[in-house]
Structure formats: structure tokens, C-alpha cells
Amino acid sequence: MSFAFPPPPPVAVPVAGSDHLFAVHRVYCVGRNYAAHAREMGKDPNKEPPFFFLKPADGVVPAATAIHYPPGTSNYHHEVELVVALREGGRRIPVAQALGKVFGYAVGLDMTRRDLQLAARDLGRPWDFGKGFDESAPMAPLTPASRWSGPDRGAITLHVNGELRQSADLADLIWPVADTISFLSDYYTLMPGDLIFTGTPAGVGAVVPGDRLLGRVEGLEPLVVEILPAL
Ligand code: MN
């Protein structure tokens, strides 16, 4: 037996300071993980636990420098996030063992067609059109966990055209990284190659073609992305 046509290559994220690539399996995303962002979306952070959605693995843009304005939206938003990359998977992973499963960390953007996401949310429909589209997950190269002081604390910021839009600290996460991995592993069999976008701080907003985004997490490779005109 052979493939009817050549299978697509895996999406591969470079590892900073090495020749290695990280092959992406799945992309999990936390919905609301900073209290101030939950409030700006009109929700009470104390009332509901964080929840999850997924993006397609090929929505990741590894070592991104530019992404296209997507079709079907007139309210395209930035969400800067800490991205966790797993080197090992498992089921029912205890919190105390969760960080041992992590290969590394990166800065990522959970790009969002906010108009489509909110319309779906308000109608009780799935978020896929708002969240899981082409080029919706640009990422910087990964930094190995052994070479970073996180993930319990560290500044996370996003600038658009030099102006500060999002600013928080990883210490503000409602669900820390270890808790998030453990929770997910109660619902999914986690695998090497899984990415987890850990949620965005307050200050999300719209971008347009020509805008230049700078995402930073203290101690990790920065992410600089230009928004290109629609294809
Ligand atoms: Mn997000």
C-alpha cells in the first residue's frame, strides 16, 4: 500500500539555539485564563472555570514574520499568549508531574475573527470559524524548558506599531501551566507535539494590514509579525 498522494509534511516549529524542529500534533487553547480579560469579554472570572477550544495544527505559522488578514471578518483581533510545547503525553497527569512533560515554551498569538467568534458564542454555536482558521496561530521559536525561568512568573506584553496594548504577568494566570496540563489530560490523551495556548491578558483589539505586532514573554524569543493584505 502507498499513499494516494504525498502526505503533507508536519508543521515544524524551530527550537531556538539548535538545529532541532518540534513537530506539532494538536493545538489546545485556554478560553479565559486572566481575570481582567474575562471581564473585558463581559464574563465573571469567578463564576466559571476556564474552558478550552482547539485550533487545527496547520493553523500554526512557525517562526512567523508575517500573516495575511483572514477572509470573512472585519474585526480581526490579537491575543498574545504563552505557548507550552509537550515532549511527552499521557492521561490523568498529576499536577506535580505536569511540568516534567514540557519540552519548551514560546510566544504565540491566538489570532481571532472576533466578530465571528462573538456571534457564534451568543448563538451557542461552535467557535471554529472565529478561532481555527488558516494562519491563526503564529509562533516564535521554542525555548527549551531547561533554559527558561518560567512558567510561574514573567512579564507578557503585546505592542502594536510600538504602542503597548497588552501587559500582564504569568503569575496572573487563573490556571497555572501545570494545572492546565493536568486538567486537559483528564479529557484528552495528550501526545508529544501538543501545543497549549494558555490564554491572553486584557487589552485585546483589532489589527489591520500594515500593522506590526510585537509579542513578548520575559526570557523567551520575541515574536514580530506584520499583518499582510488579504490573499
Ligand atoms: Mn486566546
Q: Which three cell numbers stand for residue 93?
A: 497527569
Query: What is the structure's pLDDT at 25?
Result: 98
Give the whole-angstrom CA distance, residue 92 versus residue 55: 22
pTM for this one? 0.96
Q: In angstroms, rounded to a whole number, what is the distance separating the alpha carbons of residues 150 and 178?
A: 11
Distance 109 CA to ligand 1 centre (A): 8
Report which of 123, 138, 136, 126 is spatially closest to residue 62, judged by C-alpha positions: 138
Q: How far is the CA of 29 from the centre of ligand 1 (A)?
A: 6
Give pLDDT tens digits along the chain (231 positions).
Answer: 999 999 999 999 999 999 999 999 999 999 988 888 778 878 777 766 778 999 999 999 999 999 999 999 999 999 999 999 999 999 999 999 999 999 999 999 999 999 999 999 999 999 999 999 999 999 999 999 999 998 999 999 999 999 999 999 999 999 999 999 999 999 999 999 999 999 999 999 999 999 999 999 999 999 999 999 999
Question: How many whole angstroms separate alpha carbon 210 and alpha carbon 183?
Answer: 39
Which secondary-structure segment (H or E) carries 88?
none
Q: What's the CA-to-centroid distance between 175 and ligand 1, angstroms? A: 14
User: In angstroms, what is the span from residue 87 Cα to ligand 1's centroid?
Assistant: 22
Rounded to whole angstroms, how far apart are CA atoms 11 and 162? 30
